[in-house]
Chain A
Amino acid sequence: MKLRVLYFAWLRERIGEPREMVETEAETVADLVEELRAREERYALAFSDLASVRVALDQELADFDASLAGVREIAFFPPMTGG
């Protein structure tokens, strides 16, 4: 499947781009993160501490064990600081 992957804040800076299309067979968010980590050093660096990474599937907050079935857009970002 083809996923639109978005990165925000320091994840965007570490990876070096705000978005990309990713072809993957990953079943869960955690599987996708493992695939990305294995790709290049910049991904390994961005995803080195998952405790400080949040994820949204089709613009809804989700967990790392969430399924990617039917998902079109996934976003990775640090804990939010609104207000």
Chain B
Amino acid sequence: MNALLAALVGLLFAAGTWLLLGQRILRQVIGLGLISHGANLMVLLAGGLGGRHAPLLANPTPRADPLPQALILTAIVIGFGITAFLLALGYRMHALEEDEP
């Protein structure tokens, strides 16, 4: 499972980097999105995966680590806001292109 997720993180970074190096704004925005999701998955991996119980005192050990999920949630929200900003900026560049001959 760990190896599979690690490979997925690598794939996301590779695809994101490839898109980011392209010429078109929309592809670059999607590329940045993929890269930041790669990092999110990496945070999840950092907490350890699989075969754990829910993190409640009543449950037997080993218990899952809830912190990475809280961290990822924050990172996702930030990423979402920035993607929205980038799309707005991209649209603005497009609109200005039409205004200014």
The answer to whether A and B interact is no
